[in-house]
Structure 1
Amino acid sequence: MKNQSIVTLLFSLLALQFAGCSNEPLTTPAASSKKLEKPIDTSASRPNIIFYLADDQDITDYGVYGNEKVHTPSVDRLAHEGIMFKHAFTAQAICAPSRTQLFTGKYPLKNGAFANHTPTRPNIKSVTKQMRALGYEVVLAGKSHVKPASVYDWDQEWQPVPKKGVPRDYIPLADIEKYFQTTTKPFVMFIASKYPHGKYFDVKNPDADKLKFHPFDQHLKSNKKYIKKRAGYYRSIEEDNTQLAHVLRMVDTHLTDNTLFIYSADHGVSGKFSVKDIGLNVPFVVRWPSVIKAGSRSEQLVHYTDVLPTFIDAAGGQPEPSMDGKSFLNILKGEDKAIHQYVYGVRTNQNIINARVFPSRMIRDIRYKYIRNFNALEVLDQNLTDKANINAFLELGAQRHKNEPFEELYDLTNDPFEQNNLISEPSLITVKARLQTQLFAWMKTQGDFLNEGFGNVPIITAPTFKLDQNKPPIRTDVPKALQNTLNPEDYFIIDHWRK
């Protein structure tokens, strides 16, 4: 890369000498073959960066990730032209908390948005300020779902665009192409799709034989309602691949090979609101023709918190030590070396549709995974307080998830869909102890309000979601006798969530 920078600089100086003898516009060799001529960018060794983010799609639902029944040619193409990660993770299988990790380099508990529809801490320096300091413009094209605007102060932001004949708004393709044609600065652009998130397409006469099933949904193969929903989901996946194809055409037409392009989906839909891998293990494919060897594969653990440090590293900066993530730039360059021993997951079941008090934390290494469900039914009695109204909501949470035990341990090499809980397996006592110790240590670094003890499961409130109310958007189905029974002093207050 150093030699490439020297060559670029020499070419720029030589071109400037000849420019004084000509009235022709000065363009790079790459731009001269494009439809629009551009001036030389003396920072051309720094890549333009594009992150395409799909919405609510399982890692198991891509051709390149093993599903031959779903049509994903654009993502498959990226994988063949770049590197595909097997073990990429978000820490939370829900929209806002997942996205804030990408934008801050910090886990949800540390950045403050660990429940849906809640803001990031106001003192966080997000990708906008971090990359702007390195000379980049930072753009959001499509779905946002993050706040406040003071933290996410995009240089440009374009909203999704209504489109006839489809169930969801489209990404703003015209704005994206115009930007590619006219920008003269290095940029980071997040293209955030609303697909394949429901509402799905209405597929007539769906055929179960055209869908792929896994251990978690095998029992639904004859469920007509599920089959119809799943067929619509597959069709929405295809529509997102159509959008992605348009974007790739624009990139290949208007930008150079020094473009770092990442595709992912914010979390899996089948594991949404959980800490199962089907929710947290995300597709992650990277193309960078001038750097990445085509057809590469990586089994190293990478995480959404690593994305911003990697962008900073690629731009020539130094990630802040307060970030949880680490740069995986060396992996992209072909160095197959671990950057993490562990990744972590969080579940906050409050502040979502059908909310109940049932917080969970997860840790996993490359093989084993440990989960603690802090308000499991088997430990409910130890969480109860001296307030009957609070206890009623703790009981509702434990009963809603009565089939989830206090502790879970999985061998993901042999049981990737987490069907066989090994928490009582004598041969794994040491593994369990190691993961527990590391998880609780990590929770302390995150400022977690939970710990390894009992009696500390709080009831959380946010401005638009009240656990004891039934009005939209929460729809908690609270029994009438419990409605409006929680008082302000009963809640664990998150200061920066206040309006």
Structure 2
Amino acid sequence: MKNFPTIAFCFFCLLCLTGCAGPQTAAAPEADDRPNVVFFLADDQDIYDYGVYGNEWVHTPAVDRLAREGMRFVNAFTPQAICAPSRSATFTGRYPLKNGCFMNHSRTKDIRSVTDYMSDLGYEVVLAGKSHVQPAKVYDWDLSWETVPVEGKPRKHIPLDSIEAYFARADRPFCMFITSMYPHGKWFDVPARPADSLLWHPHNEHKRSDEVYRKQRSGYYRSIEEDNAQLESVLDLVDRYQSENTLFVYASDHGVTGKFSLYDRGLNVPLVVRWPGVIEAGRVSDVLVNFVDVLPTLVDLAGGEPDPDFDGVSFLPVLKGSEQEIHEYVYGVRTSQNIMAAAVFPSRMVRSKEYKYIRNFNSMEVVEQNMQGKPYLNEFIRMGAQKFAGVPFEELYHVTEDPFEEVNLAKDPAHQELRETLSQEMFAWMKEQGDILREEAGWMPIICAERFQLDKEETFRAVPDHLEGTITSADCLPLEY
């Protein structure tokens, strides 16, 4: 202790020197130069109904501009041609059966979503517009703003004021989903266009002289223009506030003329991506991608590692110039329950770049094998098959030569090996997904839907009096989440 005065004096001097130097702080972190992400999602618009995708009669200058400044995908797909399952797959990186949302108006399982993955990587995750996904604990947005009513317009608009205020103040990387309610009906009430000012395809060519149908299509075209105007406003805001380092994605959740189906007019979606300084302007890619690839791509972009449970993979290399395929196949789900026109008619699909195979598990060809032990359930099963009486048990299409899927090759002797290969691939995928359907006939699950029940009358579904209210929870496939 005899050296204590000297030690104390030295310690006092050290404190004085430290104090003179001012408070000590950690070194400032390097600036975060990872790109922001803005993902604009339209609602119920066919891939055919854009200028850049070949429709000269519809006005889409903002989407066309994005394609000129970025890249356009021609083989992008959603796994299900209906709102909630399409969005849930996009936000979770998992197909509908695995994530749990394989019916419209239904919930996702208790799994991680984009709000978890991107928040963990330091991004603020924002929803601006229509949600249509649940539960809130899975989709836990850092910020969210609902759509806003506009006088004289048939649908609510995206919250542009909130979006602008956010862009102006954002000081760290963000991932914003701007989800429009257009062009989804109710459409604008406008006069019917002449038939030669609308685009026609094999599935609607027979309605050329139907003025009611042409009026509907004209209102749909007008709603597309309204959505394009919203997109243009968002692009102007991005260019004003966040132009230096923003990846901008445009897509539609699914097509409207193929809604609920497994045909390309429902599943093939527009996908346009702009990333100044990275994506070569004016590129067109035919690489096969699916909405389940969106989240893995965002995680990759943010510097994270993909979750082994993802069904999708990152297409970031494609954005940077690669044309190497990331999938041999993409898959599709059809669930016709829990919609207003509910019916027992489930289907599954596998698609390569050239061919598509579909199996309709309750077609008229096999309906008798699907009957259950209870007569009232048998009636619902038969009603489902009869509603789609013209749809065969198996469908096989050469989609590159037959894009509107008019020639079914499933029974063509020359295509039997291919049919078997694709069906085996589909069933292997179904098993991996934990699908509720089985390969063998004789099993046709009934789902007790929360919103649109099979035994309840709805706007688009008539139920015989003796069948109303007959289905009980004991008749239904349990979904324990």
Q: What amino acid does structure 2 have at the position aligned with 1:84?
A: R
Task: Please give the per-residue CA displacement for 1:238-277, whole angstroms capped at 9, x wherever unaligned.
Answer: 0000000000000000013321100000000000010110
Distance 1:41-1:68 versus aligned 2 partners, 3 A rule? farther
What residue is the counterpart of 2:365 in the other structure?
378
Render the CA deviation track for 1:285-337: whole Å, top value 9, x for unaligned.
00000210000110010000000000000010011010000000000000110
What amino acid maps onto 2:70 in structure 1?
A: G
Distance 1:466 1:379 in 2: 23
Q: Does 1:464 align with 2:442?
A: no
Question: In the alignment, which residue of structure 1 is the partner of 2:400?
Answer: 413
Paired residue for 2:351, among 358, 364, 367? 364
**SS of alignment partner, residue 270 of structure 2:** strand
Q: Tell me how far 1:205 sits from its aligned partner.
A: 4.3
2:476 counterpart of 1:495: no
Alignment-derived partner of residue 114 in structure 1: 102
Unaligned runs of 5+ in 2: 1-27
- In the other structure, the counterpart of 1:165 is 152
Question: Alpha-carbon deviation of 1:434?
Answer: 1.0
Q: Following the alignment from structure 1 to structure 2, what is the Cα–Cα distance between the partners of residues 276 and 490? A: 31
The alpha-carbon deviation at position 182 of structure 1 amounts to 0.3
- Cα distance in 1 for residues equivalent to 2:351 and 2:317: 22
Check 1:395–1:74 CA distance in 2 against 1; reply closer, same or farther (3 A cut).
same
Task: Tell me which residue corresponds to 1:53.
Answer: 41
What is the correspondence of 1:275-354 to structure 2 with a 5 Å cutoff?
A: 275-354=262-341
Residues 91, 113 of structure 2: 8 Å contact kept: yes
Letter in 2 for 1:358: F
Give the one of 249, 258, 261 matched to 2:236: 249
In structure 2, C-alpha distance between the alignment counterparts of 1:190 and 1:43, rounded to whole Å? 24
**Number of residue pairs matched by the alignment:** 454
CA distance in 1, matches of 2:248, 2:432: 32
2:7 maps to what in 1?
none
Residue 141 (structure 1) aligns with: 128
- Give the equivalent residue in structure 1 for 2:58: 70
The answer to whether structure 1 residue 388 and structure 2 residue 375 are counterparts is yes
CA-to-partner distance for each residue in 1:162-184, whole Å, 9 max, x for gaps? 11121110000000000000011
Distance apart, 1:43 and its partner CA = 4.2
Runs (4 or more) in structure 1 with deviation over 6 Å come to none
The letter of the residue matching 1:478 is V
Task: State whether residues 257 and 288 of structure 1, in contact with CA within 8 Å, keep that contact through their aligned partners in structure 2.
Answer: no
1:88 counterpart = 2:76: yes
**Alignment-derived partner of residue 14 in structure 1:** none
Q: Which residue of 2 aligns with 1:198?
A: 185
Which digits, 9 at most, give the CA deviation of each residue in 1:392-436, with x for residues without a partner? 100000000000000000001110000110111122112111101
Paired with 2:139 and 2:395, the residues of 1 have a C-alpha distance of 37
User: Which one of the candidate residues 439, 447, 451 is aligned to 2:426?
Assistant: 439
Quick one: which amino acid aligns to residue 353 of structure 1?
M
Measured in 1, the distance between the counterparts of 2:63 and 2:45 equals 12
Note closer, same or farther for the CA distance 1:272–1:41 as it changes in structure 2 (3 Å cut).
farther
Deviation at 1:484, TM superposition (A): 1.0
Q: Which residue does 2:468 correspond to in 1?
A: 483
Match of 2:388 among 397, 401, 406: 401
Q: Name the CA distance, whole Å, in 1 between partners of 2:314 and 2:29.
A: 25
User: 3-state DSSP class of the match of 1:377?
Assistant: coil
Q: Distance in 2 between matches of 1:358 and 1:478?
A: 16
Letter matched to residue 423 of structure 2: Q
CA separation of 1:372 and 1:195: change in aligned 2, threshold 3 A: same
Answer yes or no: is 1:260 the counterpart of 2:213.
no
Residues of 1 paired with 2:31 and 2:404: CA distance?
A: 46
Give yes or no for contact 2:247–2:273 (8 Å, CA) kept in 1: yes
C-alpha distance in 2 between matches for 1:44 and 1:393: 57
Show structure 1 runs of 5+ residues with no match.
1-39
What letter corresponds to residue 440 of structure 1 in structure 2?
F
1:42 and 1:431 map into 2 onto residues whose CA distance is 54
Q: In the aligned structure 2, how far is the partner of 1:481 from the partner of 1:326?
A: 49
Which deviates further from its counterpart, 406-415 or 206-215? 206-215
Percent identity over paired residues: 57
For 1:41 and 1:229, locate their aligned partners in 2 and report how far apart those are by CA, in whole Å. Answer: 56
Letter in 1 for 2:79: A
Partner of 1:221: 208
| Cα displacement (A) at 1:475 | 4.8
Q: Secondary structure at the match of 1:200?
A: coil
In the alignment, is the contact (CA less than 8 A) between 1:139 and 1:156 conserved in 2? yes
What per-residue deviation string (whole Å, max 9, x for no partner) do you get for residues 425-476 of structure 1? 12211211110110000000100011210111111112222210115xx753
Greater Rg by CA = 2
1:394 is paired with a residue of what secondary structure?
helix
The 3-state SS of whatever aligns with 1:118 is: coil
CA distance in 2, matches of 1:213, 1:257: 40
What whole-Å deviation, never above 9, does each CA across 1:138-161 have from its counterpart, x for those lacking one?
000000000000000100000001
Report the Cα offset of residue 206 of structure 1.
Answer: 2.6
- Corresponding residue of 1:3: none
Amino acid at match of 2:67: A
SS in 2 for 1:282: coil
Larger displacement relative to structure 2 (474-483 or 81-90) = 474-483
Q: Aligned partners of 1:408, 1:42: CA distance in 2, in Å?
A: 56
CA contact (8 A) 1:257 1:290 kept: no
* Distance in structure 2 (CA, Å) of the matches to 1:464 and 1:268: 23
Q: RMSD in angstroms over aligned alpha carbons?
A: 1.1
TM-score (norm 2): 0.93
